[in-house]
Amino acid sequence: MAQVTLPDPPPASGEGPLGLAFDNRFTRELPGDPSDEPHPRQVYGACYSHVSPRRCAAPRLVAHAREVAELLGLDETATASDRFAEVFSGNRVLPGMQPFAMCYGGHQFGHWAGQLGDGRAINLGQAIAPDGRRWMLQLKGAGRTPYARRADGLAVLRSSLREFLCSEAMHHLGVPTTRALSLVTTGETVLRDMFYDGHPRDEPGAVVCRVAPSFTRFGNFQIFAARGDHDTLRRLADYTLTHDFPHLGSPSPESYLAMFTEVCQRTAEMIVHWMRVGFVHGVMNTDNMSILGQTIDYGPYGWLEGFDPGWTPNTTDGEGRRYSFGAQPEIAQWNLAQLGNALHPLVDDLPGLQAAVDGYAEHYSTAWPEMMMAKLGLEGFEPGRDEALLGGLLEVLQLAETDMTLFFRRLADVPTTNEAGDEARLAPLRGAWYDPAALDGPIRPKVIEWLNAHASRVREVGVDDATRRERMHAVNPKYVLRNYLAQEAIDLAEQGDLSRVGELLELLRRPYDEQPDRDRFAAKRPEWARHRAGCSMLSCSS
Of 442, 233, 420, nearest to 344 by C-alpha is: 233
Please name every residue paired with 63 in a beta bridge, in sequence order, or none if there are none.
183
- CA–CA gap between residue 399 and residue 374 (Å, rounded): 22
Cβ-contact 206, 160 below 8 angstroms:
yes
Burial of 469 (0-12, 13-18, 19+ CB in 10 A): middle
Q: Which residues of 53-71 are buried (b: 16+ CB within 10 A; e: fewer)?
A: bbebeebbbbbbbeebbeb
Task: Look up residue 476 and give its DSSP letter.
Answer: S
Active-site choice (238, 287, 297, 465): 287
- CA–CA gap between residue 282 and residue 92 (Å, rounded): 33
- CA–CA gap between residue 169 and residue 405 (Å, rounded): 15
- CA–CA gap between residue 447 and residue 407 (Å, rounded): 12
- CA–CA gap between residue 219 and residue 342 (Å, rounded): 9
Find all residues with CB under 8 Å of 531, minimum gap 6, and list them: none
Of 149, 153, 151, 144, nearest to 114 by C-alpha is: 149
The yes-or-no answer on residue 287 being catalytic is yes
- Tally Cβ neighbours within 10 Å of residue 464: 12
- CA–CA gap between residue 56 and residue 142 (Å, rounded): 8
Cβ-contact 181, 168 below 8 angstroms:
no
- CA–CA gap between residue 411 and residue 440 (Å, rounded): 18
Burial of 148 (0-12, 13-18, 19+ CB in 10 A): buried
Burial of 138 (0-12, 13-18, 19+ CB in 10 A): buried
Cβ-contact 96, 20 below 8 angstroms:
yes
- Tally Cβ neighbours within 10 Å of residue 419: 6
Phi, psi of 71 (to 5 degrees): -55, -35
For the annotated catalytic residues, the residue numbers are 287
